[in-house]
Chain A
């Protein structure tokens, strides 16, 4: 919106410039003329609305900053003790002063990336089907189902992951490790495919399982954002493409996807933000380890939010300070991801219209 007046004046100046060749004196008079000041009658409801809106905006921003300040104050003691090793240290033993977030932060990112790797194709496929292909009759039902999936509490997904998925996915993990184990991230240390007595628990409680469960939580959110954006693709351009003889898929590729690119990226990143902070499901599934664990199929994972949930109950006051410090890093990481996502959405063509 703010860009529009600028281009307008530029056009005006350009027009005036071409006119100035002939009528220079008049042009001066025109430039000296002031535009009429536009004044809207502000009645009470308008003023009230303005202040309510401004107030709630301020409250949201100040609550966010207060949360950040609270975490910083609470975690300051831990930051002070750990120093720069807080970023590089892998183990977590605050009582002895040896603690850091290197392992848990890496774990958080790995779980989130695994989740996005599953959620992205799922979300984009669902969104495209609902907005472009589904018959009108079932469209609303599908939208409701996807929104309902987003509303299911994460502990439900977590319990499903623990009691159903984690035992049934083991053969899949084993298959991948057997045949794709030469790819470093799929390698599983301590797994020998030729040992018939090998226990499948080396694959339990892994980043992979936690990632899949988080993906199911993230996909509906990403999908509904993408669907919103896809449905806004201009009807004129769609019809233009169809009129030029495009198939439906051709139309989607040439109109809907380029139009919705901002929404796709933004929705994925909002999903990533949620995946970073997902707590209960991860907390229920993982077996925490405090080393950087790049093998996603192997037992043992860790995330910051799960660490906080696992250690909070039996923590001494200094341990709580250390957990708050870890929480602050997560807070900042999520903030950055969400901020970038909203910027991308806002800058895109679809996003600027939807705002």
Chain B
């Protein structure tokens, strides 16, 4: 990767010397992805407070960002998807402006789930990529599917429906998930697309839902995370930025990488993964300057998280339209700030810092900005948390290795994940503590753990059931006779409560109407009580309903224009 960066620098140096640096920091405006908006907003505040550079950002979506950049209304765009992406579902022509891509911030797509076994929340679910692809394409519909059981030898999974919760609005997270599925499991994804009735099947920002399936669409990352976190949503799983799972205090699934380890989307795992990302520098290629995440998806490092990706900033490389060298000065300095210094905050903001290869490539790209004179021209002065200023890759050396129990096999870690990291799945003392070790010789649970441990709900830790219990027959929902009778009784009581009072009142008033109008005991008494209660309106002598003929007459004699 360093080779890549240095190879770029000479050609870039020529370009940057061609135009003089801008004189003042003019305000710049950008449009684009909401996925990266949290990080950008933070950086924009920081550079304004510290340097007084004015940057505005409108997070109206990746597609809007690409469109605004190519129309020239935005000085920079931010997008998860590059222009004219091969395999995208929408035609998206490259702009006539000259441009380059700069990686800005990385993140992992996490799978947040709500699964309860025997009244206890599962926090250590593990899933392979293929299983995930099958879940999000409706092939696997029950939690006790043998594929899920094979990934989780220590869980006795319940036979409840999987409810995949997907984004109902156009979203970069959806694009990242579909990009991964399309690249790794094209057959599964294509079959699903056809089933959902999509004619062009590619990377999409709008997740297709098959009508009548268990899929549920919700709006926004908060919407999907909130839906999964509901108590009633047991069995739901969604894809979301890791930070939303942390906020919801819910676990995320560990995903199997190509080294055979199940990993979590922590900041360091994502950064390690992205060490394998390459930027296409072949100017003749249709995907010129886009990233190739294929290497990330199949990164062989045991720490790698497969669904790692990053978003781009689209920057102009020539003075065109409204873009000036003064704006270029601001943009280059801003980019130089976030590629190095700004990455320090990435983890706090719920993202991952860019690893050395992407930061170096980005620094090379921003030197193409006309009028720019970035502070950090190469990684030697870059204060990025993933590497030292001397260019050594700190991240590759210090990122924690996965636990041995995360290796694919009969064993399974019991520690929690994501927002439920402090909640272990086994809470039972005694036998539960020993389960964390190697499964032992008694571990008879093969891939089909669900079937082999008969009648044990919860964890079956190598023959030592942590939560013991036996399935009982729930009463069928058909109504037993007493319930039915009580229901009918309740309906009758309700009906009487509605019907009786008016009937009684009518009888009484009829009786009163027929009574002689003299000061008889009853009527006079009634008048007195009303007088005391009513205050001003005292003269409502006996209440009488209008006789039918008066009512009819009154209505008929009404002027006809009252319609």
Q: Which of the residues B158, B216, B509 comes within 8 Å of A287, measured between beta carbons? A: B216
B residues near A196, Cβ cutoff 8 Å: 474, 477
Contact status B554-A316, CB under 8 Å: no
Q: Which of the residues B63, B163, B236 comes within 8 Å of A314, measured between beta carbons? A: B63
Q: Which of the residues A96, A201, A204 comes within 8 Å of B200, measured between beta carbons? A: A96
Q: Which of A198, A261, A312 has most chain B Cβ within 10 Å?
A: A312
| A199-B160, A349-B561 known; A162+B223 contact, CB < 8 A | yes
Contact status A93-B198, CB under 8 Å: yes
Q: Which of the residues A93, A97, A310, A316 comes within 8 Å of B63, measured between beta carbons? A: A316
Contact status A289-B211, CB under 8 Å: yes
Can you name 11 extra interface pairs (CB under 8 A) apart from A204-B227, A253-B551? Answer: A96-B89, A190-B214, A242-B540, A246-B546, A262-B563, A287-B209, A290-B197, A312-B61, A314-B170, A316-B92, A348-B563
**4 closest pairs, A vs B, by CB?**
A314-B170, A313-B61, A96-B199, A314-B205
Contact status B206-A314, CB under 8 Å: yes
How many chain B residues touch A (CB < 8 A): the figure is 66
Contact status B546-A241, CB under 8 Å: yes
Report the minimum CB–CB distance from A237 to chain B (whole Å): 9
Contact status B550-A194, CB under 8 Å: no
A residues near B62, Cβ cutoff 8 Å: 314
| Smallest Cβ-Cβ distance to B80: which chain A residue | A314
CB within 8 Å of A: which B212-227 residues = 212, 214-219, 223, 226-227
B60 interface hit (Cβ, 8 Å): yes
A residues near B540, Cβ cutoff 8 Å: 242
B522 interface hit (Cβ, 8 Å): no
The distance in angstroms between the C-alpha atoms of A247 and B92, with both chains bound, is 71
A197 interface hit (Cβ, 8 Å): yes
Contact status B219-A284, CB under 8 Å: yes
CB within 8 Å of A: which B180-217 residues = 197-200, 205-206, 209, 211-212, 214-217
A residues near B170, Cβ cutoff 8 Å: 310-315
| A96-B200, A288-B168 known; A199+B161 contact, CB < 8 A | yes
How many chain A residues touch B (CB < 8 A): the figure is 63
Contact status A201-B231, CB under 8 Å: no
The distance in angstroms between the C-alpha atoms of A167 and B540, with both chains bound, is 49
Report the minimum CB–CB distance from A98 to chain B (whole Å): 6
A317 interface hit (Cβ, 8 Å): yes
| A197-B158, A247-B545, A287-B216 known; A315+B199 contact, CB < 8 A | no
Contact status B169-A291, CB under 8 Å: no
Contact status B169-A205, CB under 8 Å: no
Contact status B546-A254, CB under 8 Å: yes
Report the minimum CB–CB distance from B248 to chain A (whole Å): 12
A-B residue pairs in contact (CB < 8 Å), sample of 18: A93-B199, A95-B89, A189-B212, A193-B477, A197-B161, A199-B233, A200-B232, A287-B209, A288-B168, A309-B169, A312-B61, A313-B170, A314-B62, A316-B63, A316-B67, A316-B91, A347-B561, A347-B563
The distance in angstroms between the C-alpha atoms of A197 and B473, with both chains bound, is 12
0/1 per residue, B539-550, Cβ < 8 Å to A? Answer: 010111110001
The distance in angstroms between the C-alpha atoms of A287 and B561, with both chains bound, is 47
B230 interface hit (Cβ, 8 Å): yes
A286 interface hit (Cβ, 8 Å): yes
A residues near B555, Cβ cutoff 8 Å: 254, 258
Q: Which of the residues A201, A242, A250, A310 comes within 8 Å of B163, measured between beta carbons? A: A201
Contact status B161-A313, CB under 8 Å: no
Q: Which of the residues B168, B230, B236, B474 comes within 8 Å of A310, measured between beta carbons? A: B168
Contact status A250-B158, CB under 8 Å: no
Contact status A95-B91, CB under 8 Å: yes
Contact status A299-B216, CB under 8 Å: yes
A51 interface hit (Cβ, 8 Å): no
B532 interface hit (Cβ, 8 Å): no
The distance in angstroms between the C-alpha atoms of A200 and B197, with both chains bound, is 27
CB within 8 Å of A: which B426-451 residues = none
B171 interface hit (Cβ, 8 Å): yes
The distance in angstroms between the C-alpha atoms of A310 and B171, with both chains bound, is 10
A319 interface hit (Cβ, 8 Å): yes
Contact status A250-B219, CB under 8 Å: no
A283 interface hit (Cβ, 8 Å): yes
| A313-B170, A348-B563 known; A250+B545 contact, CB < 8 A | yes
Contact status A201-B197, CB under 8 Å: no
| Smallest Cβ-Cβ distance to B217: which chain A residue | A287
